[in-house]
A = this chain, B = another copy of it.
Amino acid sequence: MNKIALDLTVKDEPGALNAVTETIYREKANIAHISSGEKRKGKMKIYLELEDVKNKERIKSELGAIKYVLKLKDVPTFTEIYGKRVIVIGGGAQVAEVAAGAISEADRHNIRGERISVDTIPLVGEENLENAVRAVARLPRAKILVLAGSIMGGQVSEAVEYLRDRGIHVISLNMVGSVPEKADLIVTDPVQAGVMAVMPIADTAQFDIRKVRGKKF
């Protein structure tokens, strides 16, 4: 694999990030993932996943020699720690029930070595929902979305199509509006919807969402 993950603490100064990407480019490693963390007291964290690393110690010493880099350590990857993400968006009551189902099911798989996390946000309003649904495409490791509400359509439905075009599955509760007909699957019970969101993305489960596409449960 030649894959490594690094947690860098750098000075929060212009040019710091560029010095890091330049060094990696020069060393001909591939940046599989990058994400900056919180800024605090003039410092910033940069989390890096590098692939095709020819010489691990060399790239670490090159990165450590950058004047902006204060600290550097090996860490497990986000995929190893938090794994694939189920995203749940909608009304508080339904989001909580879907989360309960998804967390229980993720627990059963994570015990067997899977890594699945369940990330949620309760929201109201078509525009807020549309933005949150579209932004799932920009979230690292997001694999499936559950829309957990009582009425969703219009711009939210367009956002569902946008996501599905990008390979992210969408499960909808059985609700008013056009969202259900745009989703991969309609599930009436919210706990069941949460469980069914985890199954297709777990390598430890056998559930191919393509085989039940368009069905209502």
A29 to B: closest C-beta gap in Å:
8
A14 to B22 alpha-carbon distance, docked (Å): 11
Report yes or no: B135 in contact with A75, Cβ–Cβ below 8 A: yes
Q: A31-B36, A40-B166 are in contact. List 18 more A-B contacts (CB 8 A).
A: A15-B25, A17-B21, A18-B21, A18-B25, A32-B39, A34-B34, A36-B140, A47-B138, A76-B131, A82-B132, A91-B107, A95-B107, A99-B118, A104-B122, A107-B122, A110-B123, A116-B121, A117-B119
A75 to B137 alpha-carbon distance, docked (Å): 12
Report yes or no: A82 in contact with B118, Cβ–Cβ below 8 A: no
A118 to B: closest C-beta gap in Å:
5
Q: Does A196 contact B (CB under 8 A)?
A: no
A168 to B: closest C-beta gap in Å:
9
Number of A residues near B (Cβ < 8 Å) is 67
Name the interface residues of A126-175: CB closer than 8 Å to any CB of B: 128, 131-132, 134-135, 137-142, 166-167
A130 to B195 alpha-carbon distance, docked (Å): 26
Q: Does A59 contact B (CB under 8 A)?
A: no
Q: What is the 8 Å Cβ interface bit string for chain A, positions 22-35, against chain B (1 contact, 0 not)?
A: 10110010111111
A173 to B: closest C-beta gap in Å:
15
A-B pairs, 10 with minimum CB distance: A92-B107, A107-B122, A117-B121, A119-B119, A18-B21, A18-B25, A35-B35, A96-B100, A96-B103, A47-B138
> Which chain B positions have C-beta within 8 A of A80?
131
Report yes or no: A18 in contact with B22, Cβ–Cβ below 8 A: yes
